[in-house]
Amino acid sequence: MSFFKKLKDKITNQTETVTTKFKDGLSKTRDSFVGQMNELVKDYRKVDEEFFEELEDILISADVGVNTVMQLIDELKDEARRRNISQAEDIQPVISEKLAEMLQKEEDESELNMQKNAMTVILFVGVNGVGKTTTIGKMAHKFREEGKKVVLAAGDTFRAGAIEQLEVWGERAGVDVVKQQAGSDPAAVMYDAVQSAKSKGADVLLCDTAGRLQNKVNLMNELEKVKRVISREIPDAPHEVLLVLDATTGQNAMSQAKTFSKSTDVSGIVLTKLDGTAKGGIVLAIRNELDIPVKFVGLGEGMDDLQQFQADQYVHGLFADVLHEAEEAAAERE
């Protein structure tokens, strides 16, 4: 079965809403990246060394990352030789196929590690300004919509207004927020939050943390202290440590991801503001170079615009029109 047929069948089995959100949310990247690629195909027509050099430049400009681009180009060259592809238009579906393979290395890797018959604790880390608190609020809304009882822990006690911001999100999502005074020990807040969530019979505890600059060692020490307190109260917690990154910052997001992943056990990435950048290729760089799955992406400002990341949806959001044309062309040849 062809790649486009498999992709189309898989997406057909998913909700139209999700497909539309990914397609709309990736419009800036699609217009830039796919637009340039279409121009490349028109200009070159033949797959040769110059074609791959130009494709390399386009991928790097989309923030795919140099190491990932080199790997992708090598694999595309091998596939072109193996499949005897000489026409530039025929390589487009292969590019889509390879991107999907790079984005999802294991089945269901974007699924959260939810506990059965026990409380799930999720710790959110990341620098200030990436949308961490907003992400927590949206995820609280998501869990509430699923019928789960949720508690929020206001562990960012240093940033001015952080506690109040989380309280606003708590009200919007209809969930309780455990807090102390600004400047309090974050670990003490986490202890209180765990006890409160247990007493309330919560299904999920979502924990905000401080987000001062990632190059300050004391921030990383603080995060480790918070994790130790949580683990002492619930031995296998936190069940997820989600690093929140701003997609619009491109390679700076990669730098943050590398720093945090060295200092704390990051289990997944939440990539916010993906709809606000033309360089959505950063998803590939993060997934491929750090070997950390992207679990959620922000595709808009609304409460429902935080979406579980799905590689096929991402590829479809970028290449829907290209794949449709390729499928029609393949059908005509058959």
CATH number of the domain enclosing 275: 3.40.50.300
Same-domain pairing of 243 and 267: yes
Start-to-end C-alpha separation, the chain:
13
Q: Is residue 289 part of a domain?
A: yes
* Backbone angle region of 13, left / alpha / beta, with phi > 0 → left and psi within -120 to 50 → alpha: alpha
Q: Is residue 29 part of a domain?
A: yes
- Most confident among 35-49, 72-86, 314-328 (mean pLDDT): 72-86
Token code pair at residue 144: 């509430």
Distance, CA of 37 to CA of 228 (rounded, Å): 48
211 assigned ligand-binding residue: yes
208 assigned ligand-binding residue: yes
Pick 116 or 258 by higher pLDDT. 116
129 assigned ligand-binding residue: yes
Alpha-carbon Rg for the chain, nearest whole angstrom, is 21
Q: Give the residue among 297, 309, 301 at the shortest CA–CA distance from 246.
A: 297
**Cross-strand pairs, 271:** 245, 297
In sequence order, which ranges of 174-303 are alpha helices (DSSP H)?
A: 186-200, 217-233, 251-263, 282-290
Q: Which helix (H) or strand (E) holds 57?
A: helix 49-61
> Whole domain around residue 235: which residue ranges?
120-309
Pick 203 or 16 by higher pLDDT. 203
Same-domain pairing of 128 and 97: no
Contacts of 112 (CB under 8 A, 6+ apart): 120, 122, 239, 240, 268, 295
Same-domain pairing of 56 and 41: yes
Contacts of 107 (CB under 8 A, 6+ apart): none
Q: Which helix (H) or strand (E) holds 308?
A: strand 306-308
133 assigned ligand-binding residue: yes
Q: Is residue 60 part of a domain?
A: yes
pLDDT score recorded for residue 18: 55
Average pLDDT over the chain reads 85
137 assigned ligand-binding residue: no
212 assigned ligand-binding residue: yes
Same-domain pairing of 38 and 175: no
Q: Is residue 112 part of a domain?
A: no
| CATH number of domain containing 325 | 1.20.120.140
272 assigned ligand-binding residue: yes
Chain center to CA of 240:
14
Pick 332 or 82 by higher pLDDT. 82
Poorest-pLDDT segment among 9-13, 193-197, 297-301 = 9-13
Same-domain pairing of 98 and 126: no
Same-domain pairing of 192 and 296: yes
pLDDT category at 324 given cuts 50, 70, 90 is: low
Same-domain pairing of 97 and 170: no
250 assigned ligand-binding residue: no
275 assigned ligand-binding residue: yes
pLDDT category at 93 given cuts 50, 70, 90 is: confident
Same-domain pairing of 322 and 301: no
pLDDT category at 14 given cuts 50, 70, 90 is: very low
Identity at 138, one-letter amino acid code: K
pLDDT score recorded for residue 98: 85
Same-domain pairing of 178 and 289: yes
Pick 204 or 326 by higher pLDDT. 204
Q: What is the pLDDT of residues 158-185, one digit of tens each?
A: 888 999 999 999 999 999 999 999 888 9
315 assigned ligand-binding residue: no
Q: Is residue 113 part of a domain?
A: no
- Most confident among 56-70, 143-157, 238-252 (mean pLDDT): 143-157
SS3 assignment, position 204: strand
Q: What is the pLDDT of residues 43-90, one digit of tens each?
A: 877 888 999 999 999 888 888 888 889 999 999 999 999 999 888 878
CA angle 308, 241, 147 (to 5 degrees): 50
45 assigned ligand-binding residue: no
Q: Is residue 109 part of a domain?
A: no
Same-domain pairing of 266 and 328: no
Q: Is residue 110 part of a domain?
A: no
pLDDT score recorded for residue 328: 57
Pick 20 or 199 by higher pLDDT. 199
Q: Is residue 15 part of a domain?
A: yes
Q: What is the pTM of this model?
A: 0.86
130 assigned ligand-binding residue: yes
Residue with token string 């307190």: 229
Distance, CA of 259 to CA of 223 (rounded, Å): 13
Q: How many CB atoms sit inside 10 A of residue 321's CB?
A: 12
The domain tally of the chain equals: 2
64 assigned ligand-binding residue: no
Same-domain pairing of 175 and 272: yes
Same-domain pairing of 140 and 81: no
Token code pair at residue 152: 């929020």
